[in-house]
Amino acid sequence: MRLKNKTALITGAAQGQGEAVAKRFSKENCNLILVDKNIKKLQEVNDSINQNGGSSVCYQVDVTNHNNVKNLFDKIKSGFDNINILYNNAGVYDLNDAPTGELEIKKFDKIVEINLKGVFLFCHYFIPILIQNKNSVILNVGSVASYAGDMNAHAYAASKGSMLAFTRSIANYYGKYGLRANVICPGFIDTPMVETFMNDMNIKNQIINSTMLGRFGTPDDVASLALFLASDEASFITGSNYVVDGGLIK
Amino acid sequence: MRLENKVSIVTGASKGIGKTIAEMFAIHGSKVSICSRSSSEKEGTKVVEEIVEKGGEAIYTTADVSNYDDVEKLVKNTLDQWGCIDILVNNAGIGMLKSIENTSTNEWKNIMENNVESIFNCTKIVIPHMRKNGGGSIINLASVASYVGFADDAAYCASKGGVLMLTRQTALDYSKENIRVNAICPGFIETPELIHYLSQTENPALEREKVIAYHPIGRIGSTEEVANVALFFASDESSFVTGADLAVDGGLLTKP
């Protein structure tokens, strides 16, 4: 039981990586607070966890909406004064993202709002709770696009690149409070977010051939790394970023 | 039991990080083949005895891993005992605090042989056996000195930079055979080497404070905290991770 007596707040938990992480954490005895914009799907994940002996509550939250996040904080701050893990999974890869010259300003704003401002809002509100406990941890989700340039999705790359510097800053400042902060950088993971790639055999094969291990990752591959970094096993790990990308060939 | 029935080689396991990795792997069900050079044979044998006392399986070989023939002996002993190798932890290594001008050619060669050529030897000899076994996990001990320079530490920093690149390169060549290769990059860890280093300084207590201040988390790491990373890389939990490096440094690298 690697997360016994811990409580995790996970955003974007209705599907894909967020869902896999929630279920994995639950298996390790972690209490869960799940949030997502899509409350119907989130409720299903929440029910399934509780039916399997887990302990989970869920709330509808749009991570870009300041009032939503503040309301969530007001609602749960008294009931859950022992949140140890904040997993900022909510994020978007937008098919209308584009090279900078052609990218609509509105689209850029929207992507950065979800991928960066959403993460900031959750850190801003929940760090005061996290630092009440020793050994708390923030896990942010970057991408292999945090390192390499992206041919097409410039807003996505900018927002995911920002996770590295933002997270390092949190780690640097809040280390003295015993708060750790790290970034998980997945490669191509088989989730609804990359469905379009999966359906195009050409793109799919291209991606598979670009990984050393010759496959897409599974949400569970990400969950394994998340579990390690969230647990006390990673108690000396902070300010770092870790790829789970099957060895992306440069 | 995250490594049940796996066979691991851990080099330089008579003390410090290597010793803790060997002990932790044994607790998680791995059979462990450890080695150290003859000068620490007694300590190495004791590590094995303690693992066996606790119900684990372990063997010891006297081997200087910078010596190719010694590594062949280490691998042969492991295969004679258990017939296969699943995990190789290239932990053995040495440090030296000298600027490039103050480093003699022999000292330079000595660091390179112990920190880089040792990994070349072990990896080269073990890979055919991992291939036969359908895959494996190789874990190299690099350092935060793989990313940033430290004062008066020329040969060591160069060697650890080399370990990181060798890790990435080996991962590329052998991923198709299901052999994963990853690096662990520790910050300052509470090891006999660190304690020895501090004791040599003018004011050990002050020097310790300085070392602690490198880490935003406000302390020096434990060998268990490094071994936890090795356990993650060794287990199937990291099956989509190769060519990667994982810092375990209390935030040292976040400093400007």
Give the pLDDT confidence of B161-203 residue by residue, as tens digits. 999 999 999 999 999 999 999 999 999 999 999 999 999 999 9
Structural domain containing residue A108: 7-244
Q: Is B240 on the interface with A (CB under 8 A)?
A: yes
Domain identity same for B54 and B124:
yes
Domain identity same for B125 and B203:
no
Q: Which of A144, A183, A236, A241 to mutate to test the interface with B (most CBs of B within 10 A)?
A: A236
Number of domains composing chain A: 1
Q: What is the CATH number of the domain that holds A166?
A: 3.40.50.720
CA within 13 Å, CB half, B237: 19
| A52 located within any domain | yes
| B253 located within any domain | no
Domain identity same for B116 and B205:
no
Number of domains composing chain B: 2
Domain identity same for B164 and B232:
yes
**Tell me, what DSSP letter sits at residue A138?**
E
Domain identity same for B19 and B122:
yes
| A142 close to A115: Cβ distance less than 8 angstroms | no
**Which residues in B lie closer than 8 A to residue A176 (C-beta atoms)?**
216-218
Structural domain containing residue B160: 7-186+222-245
**Which residues in B lie closer than 8 A to residue A235 (C-beta atoms)?**
225
Domain identity same for B200 and B130:
no
Domain identity same for B173 and B200:
no
Give me the residue label for tokens 């800053």. Answer: A169
Asked if B172's CB is within 8 angstroms of A240's CB, the reply is no
Q: Is the model's pLDDT at A69 over the cut of 90?
A: yes
| A2 located within any domain | no
What is the distance between the alpha carbons of residues B86 and B84, in angstroms, rounded to a whole number?
Answer: 7
Domain identity same for B38 and B79:
yes
Task: Please name the member of B225, B237, B254 whose beta carbon is closest to the beta carbon of A168.
Answer: B254
Q: What is the CATH number of the domain that holds B162?
A: 3.40.50.720
| A162 located within any domain | yes
pLDDT < 50: residue spans in chain B: none
pTM for this structure?
Answer: 0.95
End-to-end CA distance of chain A: 37
A242 bridge partner residues: A184
- Indicate the residue type of A88: N
Q: What is the structure's pLDDT at A78?
A: 84
Closest residue of chain A to B188, computed from CA coordinates = A236
Q: Is the model's pLDDT at A81 over the cut of 80?
A: no
Domain identity same for B145 and B76:
yes
Give me the residue label for tokens 């080689």. Answer: B9
Closest residue of chain B to A170, computed from CA coordinates = B254
ipTM over 0.95: no
Task: Please name the member of B171, B232, B238 whose beta carbon is closest to the beta carbon of A212.
Answer: B171
Q: What is the structure's pLDDT at A249?
A: 86
| A250 located within any domain | no
Catalytic residue among A156, A173, A177, A242: A156
Domain identity same for B103 and B202:
no
What is the distance between the alpha carbons of residues A168 and A161, in angstroms, rounded to a whole number?
Answer: 12
The yes-or-no answer on residue B174 being catalytic is: no
Tens of pLDDT, residue by residue over A213-242, are: 999 999 999 999 999 999 999 999 999 999
Domain identity same for B130 and B21:
yes
Backbone angles phi, psi at A88, to 5 degrees: -85, 85
**Which residues in B lie closer than 8 A to residue A188 (C-beta atoms)?**
none
Instruction: Please indicate whether residue A215 or residue A250 has the higher confidence score (pLDDT).
Output: A215
Measuring CA to CA, which residue among A206, A218, A189, A200 is closest to residue A249? A206
Q: What is the structure's pLDDT at B256?
A: 80
**Which residues in B lie closer than 8 A to residue A247 (C-beta atoms)?**
171-172, 175, 180, 241-244
Q: What is the structure's pLDDT at A195?
A: 84
End-to-end CA distance of chain B: 40
Measuring CA to CA, which residue among B220, B147, B251 is closest to residue A239? B251
